[in-house]
Structure 1
């Protein structure tokens, strides 16, 4: 037996109101903030990182770098996307 649409209207209205509120909040936050500037020194540092995971220990701190580069294609000669994920990190502990 088919369900009358009148019984679904309150559920649909509540769901639309929730998603609409979230969409409006996200739109307001993205339109109000200024675009972040690109620091060329940081870009150059990330380009110089070798592929793989590296950790370096010095007295009082540990530095780590990671880079993963892959090309993903659809088919052997199809369209593709190059993924270049780079991360820099530092953990510094000192007594105060």
Structure 2
């Protein structure tokens, strides 16, 4: 039975467009910086979601850590995602 090219061509076109977009974005992205103080704050963030509200601002942080393995003792990967948010609202006169 011959392979139908229409579905394969559509998938190849879609993946090619995503690859081209990623390549273009990587060419125009500015190099980031690493601040050790921020890295330490992310390491000290507790797992889960935290909220704090002060009279002039609200702070939020979230941390999600998971380990995924293939099999019981197989190779694995650890995912550690941390996010911070700060919203400041001031009344102007």
Please report the TM-score for the alignment, with normalisation by the length of structure 2.
0.71
Specify the SS of the correspondent of 2:62. strand
Runs of 4+ in structure 1 displaced over 4 angstroms?
A: 18-26
Counterpart of 2:66 in structure 1 is 70
Residue segments in structure 1 that go unaligned for 5+ positions in a row: none
Equivalence map 1:7-86=2 (5 Å): 23-24=19-20, 26-86=22-82
1:41-60 superposed Cα distances (whole Å, 9 cap, x missing partner):
11111111011111111111
Secondary structure, aligned partner of 1:66: strand
How far apart in 1 are the matches of 2:88 and 2:58? 7
Count of residues in correspondence between the two structures: 85
Give the TM-score of the pair, scaled to structure 1.
Answer: 0.69
> Is 1:94 matched with 2:53?
no
Q: CA deviation at 1:74?
A: 1.1
